[in-house]
Amino acid sequence: QVQVVESGGGLVQPGGSLRLSCAASGNPINTAVMGWYRQAPGNQREVVATMSTSKIPNYADSVKGRFTISRDIAKRTVDLQMTSLKPDDTAVYYCWSGPGLGFWGQGTQVTVSS
């Protein structure tokens, strides 16, 4: 089993920045890939960014150039630095640890609004 715990999130004005952090515990095999997903009301959960132990990031087109994912492999943590936030970024953000079906955090709300 893996426990995934997120922190960060909150309310920010358009153009602002936020940082999300996530820590996973348990078998390191289940933290080979870690990343962030988000789900806005009425929408399906979608990938935001992921990173494997190779530290090569993968981003959704909608966040490229604005969001940066980073990992500490040894500590089994993953962060998401979000800049130039837009109202469309408003969603519940979930940390995920995999591979396979993986394990999910409880989610943290990010609201971008003036």
Q: What confidence tier does 2 reach under pLDDT thresholds 50, 70, 90?
A: confident
Task: Report the greatest alpha carbon distance in the chain.
Answer: 42
| pLDDT tens readout for residues 72-87 | 999 999 999 999 999 9
Read off the amino acid at residue 31: T
Q: What is the mean pLDDT of residues 83-111?
A: 96
To which residue do tokens 């979930």 refer? 94
pLDDT digits (tens, 9 = 90+) for 3-61: 999 999 999 999 999 999 999 998 888 889 999 999 999 999 999 999 999 999 999 99
Please, which pLDDT band fits residue 70 given cuts at 50, 70 and 90?
very high
Measured CA to CA, the distance from residue 63 to residue 46 in angstroms comes to 12
Please say whether the beta carbons of 37 and 45 come within 8 A.
yes
pLDDT at 63: 98
